[in-house]
Amino acid sequence: MNSNFVDYIKIYGRSGKGGAGSVHFRREKYIEKGGPDGGDGGKGGDIIAVGNKNLWTLLHLRYTRHVRAESGGKGGASRSTGADGADGIVEVPLGTVVKDFVTGEIICEVIEDGERHVLLKGGRGGQGNDHFKTSTNQAPEYAQPGEPFEEKELLFELKVLADVGLVGFPNAGKSTLLSVLSAAKPEIADYPFTTLVPNLGIVSYRDNRSFAMADIPGIIEGAHEGKGLGLRFLRHIERNAVLLFLVPASSDDVRKEYEILLNELRQFNPELLDKERLLAVSKSDMLDDELEEMISAELKGLPHVFISSVAQKGLEELKDRLWDLFTENK
């Protein structure tokens, strides 16, 4: 499973060169040398990124090192225009950001199915000699060459699109929660970093509604510096409308653990703190009423809910709270 998720690809792209214009003269019976009738060259193909809702990963591009568009055809006689070069199409999952690999500049972000972005423009075709006829030059022996191609190293980064992103330390119960709330079947075990790639699940809600939830690999302190799985997963959180923090009830200090998680996000990208947040105290089936009240008092002023994936405790309330959070901001 882990090898089938690819969220980072570098590809060399080159658009097509414009076709050369034609130097040609009309040939007719009894006319040895007619006027110029050289056609224009065809346009070079573009390199285009296209959103595809059926893709969830960049895996299909893993062995694509180069994407080249065709060059435009040469102009012909009788003012005939050369054929346009075929575009080079790169299909990407929704949530993909395309950057200039060298400068880091963002070229585009693909959000909608069928959305198209020209990454590299093909060269325009050159004009044929028909365009250069003047009163003083009736037989121009000149036509334009086609414009050159563009080339660039392109970086494709996938940021998973989901309504709710699960944030927590390894072994906080994120994968278990996702498997209980949705049909997703993430790998689950009682050791750190079980989840090595983001998992997506669709959570059924009232009145046949639903929302997408992403299980992001667990955070450790220093993740923003690249420790653990580091920056590989933090980028996925940027796309989530609501962040659901999971801290197990067995934690020595639930609030402190929440603050550590929050600080990692702050260090990575302060704008993440502008998102709606909810804290779920997981594995709370082990708590009696007194312990639950004590933890709740420590979390005063912090929106929270007590849940247990195994005992199915608090899950309906959790879904209600999440639904209210991300729908009120749409």
Q: Alpha-carbon distance 214 to 21, whole Å?
A: 53
The structural domain count of the chain equals 2
Q: Do 187 and 205 reside in the same domain of the chain?
A: yes
- 57: CATH: 2.70.210.12
Dihedral angle, C-alpha 229, 231, 235, 237, nearest 10 °: 50
Same domain for 215 and 313? yes
The pLDDT, as a whole number, for residue 161 is: 66
The answer to whether residues 63 and 208 belong to one domain is no
Are 223 and 153 members of one domain? no
Phi/psi at 163 (nearest 5 deg)? -70, -40
Assess whether 87 and 178 both reside in one domain: no
Assign 224 a pLDDT band (cuts: 50, 70, 90). very low
The parent domain of residue 87 ranges over: 1-158
**Nearest alpha-carbon partner for 177 in 225, 247, 109:** 247
Average pLDDT on 183-194 reads: 41
Last residue of a domain, one of 129, 158, 187: 158
pLDDT of 1-14, one tens digit each?
A: 344 556 789 999 99
Domain boundary among the residues 105, 127, 158 is at 158
- Here the CATH number for the domain that contains residue 281 is 3.40.50.300
Same domain, 259 and 134: no
The answer to whether residues 178 and 196 belong to one domain is yes
Q: The tokens 């009163």 sit on which residue? A: 135
Count of other CB atoms within 10 angstroms of residue 138 = 10
286 neighbors 250 (Cβ within 8 angstroms): yes
Q: If you average pLDDT over each of 27-31, 57-61, 73-77, which comes out highest?
A: 73-77
Are 45 and 120 members of one domain? yes
* Residues near 226 by beta carbon (within 8 Å), at least 6 away in sequence: none
Mean pLDDT of 194-204: 63
Distances (CA, A) of 96 to 8, 56, 64, 81, 116: 10, 10, 16, 36, 12
pLDDT digits (tens, 9 = 90+) for 287-311: 898 999 999 999 999 999 999 988 9
CA nearest to 220, candidates 210, 232, 208: 232
**Statement to judge: residues 184 and 315 lie in one domain:** yes
For residues 83 and 5, membership in a common domain is answered with: yes
Residue 236, pLDDT above cutoff 70: no
pLDDT of res. 42: 97
234 pLDDT more than 80: no
Please give the Cα distance from 179 to 177 (Å, whole number).
Answer: 5
Report the pLDDT averaged over residues 110-115. Answer: 93
User: Could you tell me if 171 and 250 lie in one domain?
Assistant: yes
130-151 pLDDT, tens per residue? Answer: 999 888 888 899 999 999 999 9
CA angle 324, 270, 248 (to 5 degrees): 55
**Of the residues 114, 134, 158, the one at which a domain ends:** 158
Same domain for 28 and 12: yes
Per residue in 245-273, pLDDT tens? 999 998 999 999 999 988 888 887 788 88
> Per residue in 41-58, pLDDT tens?
999 999 999 999 888 778
Widest Cα–Cα separation across the chain: 109
Burial per residue of 38-76, b for 16 or more beta-carbon CB atoms within 10 angstroms, e otherwise: bbbbbbbbbbbbebbeebbbbeebeeeeebbbbbbbbbb
Nearest Cα neighbor of 212 from 244, 172, 176, 240 is 240
Q: Answer yes or no: are the C-beta atoms of 243 and 215 closer than 8 Å.
A: no
**Confidence at residue 218, expressed as pLDDT on a 0 to 100 scale:** 54
